[in-house]
Structure 1
Amino acid sequence: MVFNPSNCIFVFRNFDFKILYAMNTLIKSATIIDPSSPFHQQKKDILIVDGIITKIEDLIPSQKDFTIVTRENLHVSCGWFDTSVSFGEPGYEERETIKNGLEVAAKSGFTAVAVNANTNPVIDNKAAVAFLTNKAQGFATKLYPIAALTKDSEGKEMAELFDMQQSGAIAFGDYKKPVVNENLMKISLLYAQNFNGLVLSFPKNQSIAGDGIANEGINSTKLGLKGIPALAEELQIASNLLILEYTGGKLHIPTISTAKSVTLIKDAKKKGLQVSCSVAAHHLVLTDDELHEFDSNYKTNPPLRTKADCKALQKGITMGVIDIITSDHNPIDIEYKKVEFSEAKNGTIGLESFFGAINSVLSISDFIENITLKPRAIFGLETTSITTGNKADISFFNPEEKYIFTKKNIFSTSKNSAFINKKMTGKVYGIFSNNQLILNS
């Protein structure tokens, strides 16, 4: 008997999903959501052979050696890319390992993630970058490192940016830490232009924010929580934009949270500055009204803001001012969350809840554009399209299924989700990427 791998499917089970390695995969009756594809908004069968899309037709007959993908109200798009994900490894494996994190990302619909440098040690040299990329080999979801902008993310001395880019880093930023030294920001933007590097600057003026732990406003006053004014974010953004106007270069401002931040970035883009920005899912959906029970899962950085800010951020997406939506997935283990609100660490996980949360407040077209084409272009990655002859890099989902998000939907090692018991609209079925088909059971 001759062993023929093209006729074999290998199935591995782990937290209620399966990975299938198959030479031929046939996706049946899928509505394609891809503005770059000639099949946009059409229901088609899609045949993938050896990881390449070979046919897209109304009906493709099934054969015995095909792996068939059929799901209720199946929709497909280019693979989703999350530009702000934190895993613990190295140093904080109790929060999340690279292996489990990438499996969670795949289950949540992501074919690529950009991983932040907030590890121990910090990802601030080429060896550390190489560790991440080597550790992530072979998974369906691709890992792209965001290296630290400064050594040890201390904001004192610029890290070896060029060397880290050569090792695989796609951008440079100190996660959740602003660049306090304006001259260092100026030098970083100037230097990165030599190799078309992307610099990230977290929008928070620490002097203004002080030791605040919640949005400064009515709720923080009622609850006796020290406030962080919107000014802390907006002042940092204004400063960075003035420096960018002086230096040139490419600047990305991650996870903005206020209405005026949208206006500031809108005005900068009108001037022709190469500035982009992202917003976290929880800032699009949740407000500081959630704080009344002092649940530390709602303690985030930036803090949850007001309903007016939520609306302005949503409008910023539809207007094209905000370029990227991210989960800002930040696992925190229970010993740092099951404490008093004032003592708890900032952060919420967001991969598993991402689609269901965002899909309830944005159109599917806005969602897809800001999680596929735009982020890949900004971070310098190859864009994909669901077209014959292209490599298959696809996310599967149902945009209409409704459910309540509970702890059983969480597969991250840490369980610090701000969306527990929230109503969701939209279910992820899985992905096809790196010649691997991953389906949720």
Structure 2
Amino acid sequence: MQDFFHKIAATVESLLQAGEQSTCWFSAESTDFVRFNRSAIRQPGHVIQRLLTITLIQGARHANTSLTLSGQLDEDQAMLADAIAQLRLQLPDLPEDPYLLIATDVQDTTQLLPSNTVSTDSIVDQILAAAQGYDMVGILISGSLYRGFANSLGQRNWYEVANFNFDWSLFHAADKAVKSGYAGFEWDGRAFSGKFADAVQRLSLLAIPPVTIPPGNYRAYLAPAALNELIGMLNWGGVAEKSLRTHQSPLRRMRTGDAVLHPSIKLSEDSRTGLAPGFQAKGFIKPPIEPLIQDGKLVGSMISPRTAKEYGLVSNGADDDETANAMVMQPGSLSMDQVLAELGTGIFISNLWYLNFSDRANCRITGMTRFATFWVEDGKIKAPLNVMRFDDSLFRILGDKLLALTQETEVIMDDRSYGERHTGGTIVPGALLGEMSFVL
């Protein structure tokens, strides 16, 4: 696939005329999709696709187009010639872009991550064996992802990884279910069996009649999947330099020093994880690690080339939306085996849903509990908890109300596949809170 991309990039460059420059962004995959329902395979499939975005640049004017490539070089070369000709016709009618920034420092990179050596067939066999006798629904996504960048200055960047993402739920009855996930780069049968056994154990607890507690402030534990939902809200402009500059970021009080998080909060964009490419669509290279929050203080941000040009900054390889694609939160000292004992009496939250900002200026978020949330008394799960709505600020939840982070972390990959399979994800621990506000 890498050789094919290099030939495509060379073809584009051969079509350029005097004064023109080009960039190419290549996005491809070879993916197995397997959907399960009632613990049986309902829809297996395999997708191979190659997408190419070409940008033609002349001075400060630029235009781009996206193509689906066949993989047959002669066919694709003819299509590329037509695409370049169409872009060339558009350029004279376009205004100059004052914030266009081109990567002129040629930096070639290659990221080839270890492949998942377990076949999809073998993974499916393990899933079906574990799910026998249970009502399971889920989707397995497994295969290779490819990303490439090339420009007419000669820069070449390549990212290739094989990974898997299995997202599933075990149903008890009606809307009572346990939602789980297992993702990574190398399938480990024992690790999967442990996760499935944990889900089965929580499923048995759903047979207990659920309880309802009144709104109020409760001690709480956020499992990694729940904490991931909260941390993910920071990608709605939270760590974006443009949003911080225009005072739209929910973390802008941290930029001014008016708010801090707990000193144990350390959050970084970490390209070394392999969750996402170490370069972006305009050819700017990401540092191996970009600290965002250290010791509870905002120390960095995601800076796109356009924002860098507008404000006279140096881009750190962020995409135009300035989101973090490989966010890592450092773990703490609490063992997951001790979570219930340390929680004492309170709420064990496996998942959070339907999150939104209720007060963006104060980083206040509202959302719902769902899927195996339990009421705990004296370190023991007493009953499932009926759905509740929380409304609280990250400045509190991850500030003075944070008691501990777990030693163990979980890899949670981006499972979106609209148009194409996405890269990216997070690595997060669980969090024990002294207090969390529930309003309904």
Task: Give the TM-score, by structure 1 length.
Answer: 0.23
**Larger fraction in strand:** 2
Q: Give the greater-gyration-radius structure (CA).
A: 2
Task: Give the TM-score, by structure 2 length.
Answer: 0.23
Quick one: higher RCO (CA 8 Å, sep 6+), 1 or 2? 1
